Chain A
Amino acid sequence: MKINFTRVLLLLIAIFVLSIFLFSLNKVNIYDTKNLIGQNINNFEIKSFKNEKIISEKNLKENKYTLINFWASWCAPCRAEHKYLIKLKNNTQNLKILGVNFKDKNKDAKKFIAEFGDPYHISGKDPDGRSSINFGIYGIPESILVDQNLIIVRKFIGPLNFEDYNEILNLTK
């Protein structure tokens, strides 16, 4: 009887530990820039894609909403989301899109825009990826929706899809 008791106890301990592990899986807290929502993104500078000018917060304060989209010609998912950006440009009034070309060659980027269309009201570039750190970017594509006061309303990590597109339409109504 004694041995059986030990056996049962051991099994119960194993089950207990494993189920704790199972429950803990639902409590995963991963590093996520979502907690940037509600924060203000003042004081940034991005080089313009077209000329030597600098894009700063002043340029965005004119817009009711701005979607800052980080992209590159070498980024495959960026191609997938591109059509939604074009649609956004055509179907919204209150939204302007700032495209930041990330770690890219000028020539490749231009070719990309020529091929897929230009959804951006304002175009910036960040050839060495330094300015993008301001926005908590750790991989592209990423998009950030800010309001007139440059407070982050929503962050989209990964390519925009149809649902994101609808959400942006609703938010910027």
Chain B
Amino acid sequence: MLSNIGIIFLILTLALSISLIYYSFINLNKDKKIVDKNIYYLSLYQTTFCILSFFVLLLGFIFSDFSLINVFENSHTNKPFFYKITGTWGSHEGSLLLWINILVIFSYLFLIYNKNKDISFRFYTIIFQNFLIIGFLIFLLINSNPFSIIIPEPKEGLGLNPILQDPALAIHPPLLYVGFVGSSIYFSAAMASLVSGFKGKPFATSIKPWILISWSFQTLGIIVGSIWAYYELGWGGFWFWDPVENASLMPWFVMTALMHSVIVLEKRNSIYSWVIILCLLTFTLSVTGTFLVRSGVLNSVHTFANDPSRGIYILMFLSIMIFSALIIFFKNYKKENYNFHSQSKETYILVNNWFMFFFLTSVLIGTLYPLFLEVLTDTKISVGPPFYNTLIIPLTVIFLLLMAIGPNTSWIKGSYKNLLFATVALVLSIILNFMIYNFFGKYSFLSNLIIISSIFLIIHSIYDCIKMFQKSIKYDPSRIISHFGFGLLVFFIGINHNYSIEKDFNLRVGEIKNFQNYSINFISLEKEDRKNYTAIVGNFSIFDKKNSLSENLKPEIRIYDNPETLTYEAAIRTKIYSDKYITMSNISRSDFYNIKFQEKPFMIWIWISAVLISVGGVIRIFKREVLT
């Protein structure tokens, strides 16, 4: 029953896509002055049907209709209500339906929010966007239909992997998808702009809000993903340079570059071609990321992967996208001459773009190189954090300094006016850095530079903020908040990296381990039978001698009967100034347990500063006209 309704809604969406393309072409040839009302209606109906199909699947999950294979495979009657709902987009099929929903919704919103824009540009955008919608709809219907049925209907479902039953992970995909898929609309708009010749400032203003929306959500999605990794995976880290993390980071770099470049196009009517390239590249990279994640080509913590036929389809789609984008771009490319003064805002923004491209290339090579090598030479290698750290960290120092100076330079030709202030800020940063260095402990030369440059950016942002409140100069709060957030992020990561205490030792029940300011007491060990595993729960008391503070932490070993599937659950105590993190593992044929204790300063501040970055983007969405 639900299956039929869902499929009917999807087919209606598909039919409306085709008719939207058809009507748009007809209207284009008629040379009309306003967009026909019918187009609005068609697009509105399309959005409605598409959302309804998603609701049908949602109902299937809520009422546990196991006649749908997708519900059967990913749900269970005993599953908490919240995870029944999130199960809707937990699987490959459901998340693809969510993906299509976002494509359709963005298409409609773009149509209604650009009423005063060039008409052929709007028609072409509809056409390109609907080609994307059709592509994904066909993929959904043929290869990954969430409404496929199973006969006879099973009485119970298979349930959802417990590691995925986590609130952070439940909202992670929708956030990322608004980012990933949101970039489709400026992909279509860029293609439309090339074909229709609608460019310059009006083009920039029409795509800017969408860039901001997708960028803000992408940022949040990445943060939520790393919060999940930190709490659930239990390795004490939050970023692993995992190929799938990289897949979400690569479009983010391009989006960030685009978000800055589009301002140049808006204010100075320049670098149009570059903006177009970035628009096209963002969505291309999003689809590439999807290909890498869904086809199972890359090994990672994400378990979507199990079907190469999906890979073939996405790859075909990706090829069509790339080649049509290249052809349309080359056909309409006109050489632009721009002569920017070396001391101007536009130069700094271009410098930002160069940095973003450097970061992008590093991550791209790190992610794809192992794949290429395996295909070409049949050797397996793994590219780990040292590669990324060596390439990215040194450049971040210069990037941070420019990030502070750039925004305070004016358009066209400006000299950086606050040389005095910059010198003071730099001296102050160096002093602060050496205070930290002396009082709290030494760290490497590179870390010194990172801390100095991040403090430099923080001071600059605070100074800008004060000036903004004094209203001496018209400032842009969203930029200040985002840059401030980025400065804080790098600062806290630096501090966290350098002052994390990590101690690895073996203990027996009843023993006490003393080191530095800590005294760790292994009080007891309990065995608890839980639903599908046995948990061995360690009870540890951690005494902080400096602050005379005692805390209890209870890490677990979970035994899924099979000796080879032990999982180690960390116990984490989060506080304002630091996190305490403890895991234990058994040592075979002895009563000793291996204990890993970590104290990670300012963990929560890493999340807060990362959220600040995206808050800046959100503010700008609502404050359209930015004064600079």
Give A contacts to B, CB under 8 Å. 7, 10-11, 14, 17-18, 20-31, 72-76, 79, 103-104, 108, 128-131, 133-134, 136, 139
Contacts and interface: CB of A to CB of B under 8 A. Distances in A.
A103 B156 contact: yes
Contact of B311 (A25, A108, A134): A25
Name the prevailing secondary structure of the B interface residues: loop
A18 B562 contact: no
A129 B297 contact: no
B299 A29 contact: yes
A18 B322 contact: yes
Nearest to B305: A30
A79 B371 CA distance: 41
Nearest to A16: B372
Interface in B148-183: 150-156, 158
Contact of A74 (B155, B299, B322): B155
Contacts of B418: none
Contacts of A21: 291, 297, 311, 315, 318, 371
B308 A25 contact: yes
11 contacts: A11-B326, A14-B322, A18-B319, A24-B297, A25-B315, A27-B297, A29-B299, A30-B305, A76-B152, A130-B560, A133-B560
B562 A24 contact: no
Given A14-B326, A20-B371, A21-B291, A131 B319 contact: no
Contact of B371 (A14, A18, A24, A29): A24
The 4 closest A-B pairs by CB, nearest first: A74-B155, A74-B156, A74-B154, A133-B560
B374 interface: yes
B531 interface: yes
B155 A133 contact: no
B295 A25 contact: yes
B322 A129 contact: no
A30 B306 CA distance: 6
A133 B533 CA distance: 10
A133 B330 contact: no
A128 B311 CA distance: 35
Nearest to A72: B156
A129 B78 CA distance: 14
B92 to A, nearest CB: 13
Contacts of B66: 74
B154 to A, nearest CB: 5
B142 interface: no
Nearest to A75: B154
Nearest to A103: B156
Contacts of B38: none
B547 interface: no
Contacts of B156: 72, 74, 103-104
A74 B171 CA distance: 31
B152 A79 contact: yes
Contacts of A17: 368
B312 A25 contact: yes
A22 B315 contact: yes
B532 interface: yes
Given A129-B532, A133-B562, A27 B305 contact: no
